[in-house]
Amino acid sequence: MEHHFSIEESIRFGWGKMRAHSTLIFKSLLTIFAIQIAQDVVVRVLQGTLEGAVAGAALIVLSVILGIGFTVMTLKIAKGEHAEYADLMPPMNVWIAYLAANILAAIVSVVPLLIAFIVCLAGYAYLPGQAAIILCVVVAIIGFIVAAYLSLRYSFVRFAILEHQDIIESLRTSARVTSGKKWWLIGFFIVIGLLNILGAVLLLVGLLVTIPVTMFAFAHVYIKLHARHA
């Protein structure tokens, strides 16, 4: 069954969910921002010390886990499920699976660029200057296109892994739901990227709005596409 929806609809959905759950969302984001600020303070005050290195590493890990928890919260709210502040600290099995799936997706996506780099090095080693340059340009373009394609293909792993708790299945789900929607997704990601750039220009207050709006929009697209392939 086809589910037709627009980028505008997704952003409207994100805005509506953000407004309806603004207290929980702002409280969660302020917590994440506070941890990141604490990390910066620790780095500056305890720079070059063992205590600083340990505290900094612990805060980085905590920041990553809270970010995963915010994704869990976002998906729950987008699906109309109950979400609470405690979701910001997901169980260990959830965030480990999330990290593993997203790292694997990133590795797969970057492989074409690594291959292009190796081919370029080989070209410079065995071909004359101009031929090597031409080869490098061609393989770099191909590598970039394939890497971008794979990035789009696995762009919904972050949500799929939260539902399946299976790394390989999450990659398969993301590949399935993005089938036939790559050009639409490029437009969607450009729009949410521009919104977050605008939020960054407006500093903290802007990001407090644009981050949840675009995250909910992202989750909404995943839910819609997943339903299309159910």
Helix and strand element counts for the chain (H, E): 9, 0
- Residue 201 has a pLDDT of 87
Look-up of token digits 């407090």: 208
Tokens of 227: 């339903």
- Angle between helix 167-177 and helix 92-126 axes, rounded to 10 deg: 70
Based on the number of CB atoms within 10 Å of its own CB, is 24 exposed (0-12), middle (13-18) or buried (19 or more)? middle
CB distance 90 to 72 below 8 Å: yes
pTM over the 0.85 mark: yes
Using one digit for the tens of pLDDT, what is the confidence trace for 133-151? 999 999 999 999 999 999 9
- Residue 111 has a pLDDT of 96
Mean pLDDT, consecutive 10-residue segments, the chain of 230 residues? 73 96 95 91 82 87 95 96 95 95 96 94 86 91 96 96 90 94 92 92 84 96 87
Q: How many residues does the chain have?
A: 230
CA-closest candidate to residue 121, choices 97, 152, 143: 143
- Residue 30 has a pLDDT of 93
CA distance 88 to 212: 14
